[in-house]
Amino acid sequence: MNYQNLCLNFESTCVGISQEEWDFKMQGTRKANRKEVEKLFKNQYPEFKELVELNPYDYLISKDYLIIIHSAIEYFFKIESEV
């Protein structure tokens, strides 16, 4: 997967969503390439640059979501398309 071609939309954090919605968003996740995700956010999503600079615990990806885990909070970014 070419991370630099992803078009993302911030959707939510795990705070305030139901367990069922969390389960749905986490379905099929696997480890994401840390360096590629950080490069993607620094270059294309500067409004979230600080989030990746704070050394998140982990990055996960599925066919629908890129997830950043930081301070026990999941940040869900919907993968809208690949350009």
Q: What is the pLDDT of residue 49?
A: 79
pLDDT digits (tens, 9 = 90+) for 5-50: 889 999 999 998 999 999 999 999 999 999 999 888 888 888 887 8
Domain count, the chain: 1
For the entire predicted model, the pTM comes to: 0.88
Give CA–CA dist 7/20, Å, rounded.
25
Residue with tokens 């950080």: 38
Give me the pLDDT at residue 9, please.
93
Containing structural domain, residue 60:
3-82
